[in-house]
Amino acid sequence: MDEDQAYRAMDLLAEADAQAEVQEAVFFAVADLLNLEVDLLFFDTTSTYFERDTEEAGEDDLRVLEENVRDQERARDANDLEAFYILDEAFHQRLCDLSRHPTVWSVSQRAKSHLNRVRRLSLAAPDYLPEMIAEHRQVLGAVAEHNADEAELALRYHLRQVLRELPRIRAERPDYFDDVA
């Protein structure tokens, strides 16, 4: 079985798994087996799936992504953090949709609650929104050029950047964290 057949089989299983119970069980079993942190697994899975199909991005896909980034800029200018958060989610979901593998988005949504908290707490940080928008533009540019390698690099960088605010958040809000020895 080649890689594409495996992905198609996963998609069929995902479609048949209306309650997502199998998806969730497989996801966490793999994370446990490989001793992976779920948020990092989300990053790598998104990048891997995204890399597959940058050539599938058509003009309509690019237009939707470009409009989304322009709306992010308007949300930034209006200091509308909630609108920015929603647009950011939509941008990433659209990238996953381009991969033609719906499993990635649905499973990742169940696994990234802690990451979403960090993202929300980071929104008010100085320069955070402009940097996120610039990184989205880099990803979009690589997708528009159908450059899978550059798109993957830009997306991996972008997805890991959300963690850069973690030390500041931890210092400002130590009550949000459990100390692990």
85 part of a folded domain = yes
Give the confidence band of 2 by pLDDT, cuts at 50, 70, 90.
confident
**Percent of the chain scoring above 70 in pLDDT:** 66
160 part of a folded domain = yes
Instruction: Using a cut of 0.95, tell me whether the model's pTM lies above it.
Output: no
**111-141: string of b/e by CB count within 10 Å (b at 16+)?**
bbeebeebbebbbeeeebbeebbebbbbbbe
22 part of a folded domain = no
Alpha-carbon span 55 to 92, nearest angstrom:
17
Residue 97: predicted pLDDT: 80
Q: Any alpha helices (H) in 19-177, and if so which ranges?
A: 21-33, 38-52, 59-77, 81-98, 102-111, 113-122, 128-144, 148-161, 166-172
Q: How many domains are contained in the chain?
A: 1
Residue 64: predicted pLDDT: 94
- Per residue in 60-108, pLDDT (tens digit) is 989 999 999 999 999 999 999 999 999 999 998 888 888 766 667 777 7
Does residue 51 surpass a pLDDT of 60?
A: no
143 part of a folded domain = yes
Residue 141: predicted pLDDT: 94
CATH code: domain of residue 78? 1.20.120.530
Alpha-carbon span 105 to 90, nearest angstrom:
11
5 part of a folded domain = no
Residue 63: predicted pLDDT: 94
- Residue 162 near residue 119, CB atoms below 8 Å: yes
**Percent of the chain scoring above 90 in pLDDT:** 25
Domain that includes residue 140, residue range = 37-176
